[in-house]
Amino acid sequence: MQLAQFDVKIAFLNGNLTKDVYMTQPKGYEDGSGRVCKLQKALYGLKQSARCWNQKFVQCLRDFNLKTSEADPCVFTSDDDGERLILAIYIDNGLVASTYERKIDEILEHLAAKIEITVTPLSLFLGMEIKRFPDGSLFASQTRYAERVIERFRMEDAHTVAIPADQHQDLSLRDPKNDEKAINAPYKEAVGSLLYLAMVTRPDIAYAVKAVNQYAKSPNKQHWNAVKRIIKYIKGTIDYGIKFKRTESNLSLVAFSDADFAGDKQTRKSTSGLVIKLGDAPIVWSSQKQRSVALSTTESEYIAATQTTKELISQ
């Protein structure tokens, strides 16, 4: 599988307006007539700019016989004569994959003829570092992003830990000694930074981040200490990521699900966990509290299995 990435220059300015929009004359260009400007193209700052750009880009891809994926509107595919092409876009950042390098060159030339793009070697995409090895395998990680998280929250000199959460600590129980809010701690910022890691390349911290995220509205000292523990773990495992191995055989999806029983001592709700792997690499994972209170371990396991099945159907 060949890969390439591209960036669209001033993406929103490519959008075509479907309705008349007027603006006041820019500073330095006023002619004193009181006249206004009629926009010929979308501008940054217009409410409809993002949609206009999306419509423009989607039409460019349809002209190349690419179809929108039913599972994700930002993924487009084509399979002409067995030559598969996959394109993913996030605002103005694009990623193209195909088994034939010629197909990648063709779609990039097609886009360059309609919009201004910059094609660069694939190395960093949306904060995710992608390395390709001679054997054809890929390794996705967020080492640089993790380093910035550690520096941002001043944990450079902290000792590392072996696991991201203390299995003997129950964050749901209120401790009068630690019930003082962590007012001066950037709790939400830290949890948000960790969430991006947990969602993209670090399934190993999904449960721990889920646990601290529940207390973002009213965190106390023990919650903040739990957040710092995750960052300490990240520091010790900063090079961790996901490896996608090259294989000649057909890849298959393998799913795992699990659940505890009444793990939350306040609500008595259980937590579901799931991992879906494509070959040896995890592509979907989740750790979330169940919406209803299970009456038995069997029921909580069935709820987790149901959630996993829904994820499999959507893949």
Residues 83/100, Cβ–Cβ less than 8 Å:
yes
Q: Rounded to whole angstroms, what are the CA distances from 94 to 4, 108, 140, 201, 301?
A: 8, 10, 16, 19, 39
For residue 224, which of 173, 187, 176 has the smallest C-alpha distance? Answer: 187
The whole-number pLDDT of residue 22 equals 94
The whole-number pLDDT of residue 30 equals 74
The whole-number pLDDT of residue 67 equals 93
The dihedral through the CA atoms of 190, 196, 197, 199 has a sign that is positive
Residues 1/99, Cβ–Cβ less than 8 Å:
yes
pTM value? Answer: 0.84
For residue 233, which of 279, 181, 257, 198 has the smallest C-alpha distance? Answer: 198
Terminal C-alpha separation, the chain: 20
Q: Say how many C-beta atoms besides its own lie within 10 A of residue 290's C-beta.
A: 20
Domains and CATH numbers, the chain: 2-122 (no CATH), 141-241 (no CATH), 248-314 (3.10.20)
- How far is it, in rounded angstroms, from Cα 242 to Cα 203? 9
The whole-number pLDDT of residue 33 equals 83
Residues 273/237, Cβ–Cβ less than 8 Å:
no
Retrieve residue 50's tokens.
């993002």
Amino acid in position 234:
I
Residue keyed to tokens 């207390």: 215
The whole-number pLDDT of residue 233 equals 97
The whole-number pLDDT of residue 180 equals 59
Per-residue pLDDT of the chain (315 residues; tens, 9 = 90+): 789 999 999 999 999 998 999 998 888 887 778 889 999 999 998 999 999 999 999 999 999 999 999 888 999 999 887 789 999 999 999 999 998 889 999 999 999 999 999 998 888 999 899 999 988 889 999 999 999 999 999 999 999 999 999 988 878 766 666 555 556 789 999 999 999 999 999 999 999 999 999 998 888 889 999 999 999 999 999 999 999 988 767 788 999 999 999 988 889 999 999 999 998 999 999 999 999 999 999 999 999 999 999 999 876
The whole-number pLDDT of residue 174 equals 64
Residue keyed to tokens 């260009």: 29
For residue 122, which of 5, 208, 29 has the smallest C-alpha distance? Answer: 5
Q: SS3 of 161, please? A: coil
Q: SS3 of 229, please? A: helix
Residues 267/293, Cβ–Cβ less than 8 Å:
yes
